[in-house]
Amino acid sequence: MSNFRRPINRRSLLKAGAASGLVLATPTIITRNAWADTNFRNDPTNSKSVTFGFNVPQTGAYADEGADELRAYQLAVKHLNGEGDGGMLNTMKPLSLEGNGILGKKVEYVTGDTQTKSDAARASAKRMVEKDGVIMWSGGSSSGVAIAQQSLAQEMGIVFMCGLTHSNDTTGKDKRRYGFRHFFNAYMSGAALGPVLEKQMGKDRRAYHLTADYTWGWTQEESIANTTEGLGWETVNKVRTPLGAGDFSQYIAPVLNSGADVLILNHYGKDMINSLTQAVQFGLRDKLVNGKNFEIIVPLYSRLMAQGAGENIKGIYGTTNWNWSLQDEGSKAFVKSFGQEYGFPPSQAAHTCYVQTLLYADACERAGTFNPAEVIKALEDHQFDGMGNGPTLYRGADHQCFKDVLVVKGNENATSRFDLLEVVEVTPSAQVTYDPEIFGGELGPYKV
């Protein structure tokens, strides 16, 4: 380890002015020794509190999703510090947290803007680590950004708890020891969708893919095509579309006469809202092909996407990590707690971020230390329940959570403006579990 890495222990901008003199005056010899084996970056041992970093998109297309994530994080911090009604702390099993912070230290937090850009997200994360002294950071709304932050986490020796990221690569070929994902992935979407599609649409179908032309799109296209081809469906075509194309009509028009009777949209966010809206306008849903109703599938759904696409999502199938209408104790507790704080139910992005924060805190409590090497070990292969997804395993081999996956469809009789998705089936985690070897990748060392 080099002598040039010095942990910087300043917690907040406000104190920075007063503290800066002190930090610069810290004799190098002490910090050098402090970086021994049992110690780690941003060690909060001598501090009364610990700081988390919440790095979410505050500008750009995913700003609303980021805002919802931030609400969830603030709620999680409240609950950890014993304020509010406790939310999922009441339902989490096993539970080591006591509602007095973590290991007796109060939880504080700093925020940052990822802009949904890798460079900006890493810059913001580095600020949290270098300036604000965070012990863990979390958040995000895109796989590319999550992967970029995850590798930074490994370099920095600070744990990163991914927010919303759905690419297989996050816990596949780009997995990292210091990165953890609670959210599900494209493979699991495919595996969960398979049986439902078979039941609803039969075995003799011809599918046409429109895929966002970047890594997440490709992994989802591959996973879904594997599933549908396994059912006996024929893949008519896979067409790549530019990211942020806005108008997808030139890609949708050829679908009409391609002989396909299913359109699969491997798009996310604004791209999905636009392509779905436009596909419906082309009359695809009213079409009869080969004597069957034409169907559109959106493998990854989110509530914000459903809101953006409006009427057009009615009856369209997809998967989601979690939905507020679930009736288990954990979900009910979380929805109630979130709704009372903010006046509306949480999104799946909010849920995964909330859960990630609690899981990290719980792991520290169980490990009895903030030392990331120990916390990581406590998270790996940890089994828990009561967090809204049923019994869940945080698999040690790839840092992916395995839990039930929800197959949903756009609600045709919504009772409120949040009641957009109807849960069609809860696919048990056993059906979506896979061998970690299939995606390769290398986690890397515990100590960096």
Partner 1 sequence: MDAIVLQILNGLDKGGAYALIALGLTLIFGTLGVVNFAHGALFMLGAFCAVAFNHVISLEQVVVDPTKITAWGTPLETRTPYIEVWLGDTGTTLLNYSVPLSILLAVPLMLLFGYVMERGLIRHFYKRPHAEQILVTFGLAIVLQEIVKSYFGANPIPQAAPDVVRGAMDLGTLIGFDPGTIVYPQWRIVYLFFSLGIIGSVFAFLQFTTFGMVVRAGMADRETVGFLGINIERRFTLVFAIAAMVAGLAGVMYTPILPPDYHMGMDFLVLSFVVVVVGGMGSLPGAVSAGFLLGILQSFASMNEVKTILPGIDQIIIYLVAVIILLVRPRGLMGRKGVMET
Partner 2 sequence: MLTKVTPRSDLLMFVLFTLAILAMPLWLAPIGAGYPDLLQKFAIFGLFALGFNILFGLTGYLSFGHAVFLGVGSYAAVWSFKLLGMNPLPALLFSVVFSALFALAIGFISLRRSGIYFSILTLAFAQMSYNLAYSVLTPITNGETGLRVLQSDPRLLDGSGSDTGPLISRLFGIEMTGYSGFYFCAVLLIVGFYISQRIFRSPFGMMLRAVKSNQNRMSYTGLNTRPYTLAAFVISGVFAGVAGGLLAVTDPLAGAERMQWTASGEVVLMTILGGAGTLLGPILGAGLIKYFENIFSAYNEQTLHAIFSFLPDVIEAPVVSIAGLFVGEGWHLTLGLLFMVVVIFLPGGIMEGLNRISKIFSRSKPKPKFTSSSQSAAAAE
- For partner 2, the binding residues (CB under 8 A) are 2, 4-6, 8, 12-14, 16-17, 20, 23-24, 58-59, 63, 66-67, 70, 109-113, 117-120, 122-124, 126-127, 130-131, 143-144, 147-148, 151-152, 154-155, 169, 174, 213-216, 240, 242-243, 442, 445, 448
Phi and psi torsions of 328, nearest 5°: -75, 165
Residue 372 corresponds to which amino acid? P
Q: Could you tell me the two tokens for 415?
A: 């009772």
Which one of partner 2, partner 1, none is in contact with 155 (Cβ closer than 5 to 8 A by kind)? partner 2
Instruction: Tally Cβ neighbours within 10 Å of residue 374.
Output: 17
Looking at the Cβ atoms of 75 and 405, the one nearer to partner 2 is 75
Provide the β-strand partners of residue 52.
109, 136
At its nearest, how many Å lie between partner 2 and the CB of residue 45? 21
Smaller CB distance to partner 2: residue 16 or 253?
A: 16
**How far apart, in Å, are the Cα atoms of 72 and each of 24, 42, 335, 349, 404?**
36, 24, 11, 9, 21
Given the rule CB under 8 A, which of 270-278, 350-358, 383-391, 396-404 is the region that contacts partner 1? 270-278
- Distance of alpha carbon 429 from alpha carbon 24, whole angstroms: 51
Is there a contact between 338 and 71 (Cβ–Cβ < 8 Å)?
yes
| Amino acid found at 316 | I
In whole angstroms, the minimum distance from the beta carbon of 417 to partner 2 comes to 23
Q: Which of 7, 310, 391, 396 binds partner 1 (CB under 8 A)?
A: 310
Count, residues in the chain: 448
Write the single-letter amino acid at 193.
L
* Listed residue (6, 40, 1) closest to 367, CA to CA: 40
**Among the residue ranges 118-126, 138-146, 168-176, 332-340, the one whose residues contact partner 1 (CB under 8 A):** 332-340
Contact 202, 290 (CB under 8 A): no
C-beta separation of 91 from 335 below 8 A: no
Question: Which part of the chain contacts partner 1 (CB under 8 A), choosing from 56-64, 91-99, 152-160, 225-233?
Answer: 56-64
CB of 223 to partner 2, least distance (A): 17
User: What span, in angstroms and rounded, lies between the C-alpha atoms of 373 and 356?
Assistant: 17
Compare residues 58 and 411 and give the one whose CB is closer to partner 2: 58
Closest CB to partner 1 among residues 347, 429: 347
- Residue 119 C-beta-side C-alpha neighbours within 13 Å: 0
Instruction: Name the residues that contact partner 1, by CB under 8 A.
Output: 60-65, 67, 213, 237, 239-240, 242, 244, 246-247, 249-251, 253-254, 256-257, 270, 273-274, 277-278, 281-283, 286-287, 304, 307-312, 324-325, 332, 335-336, 338-340, 343-345, 416-417
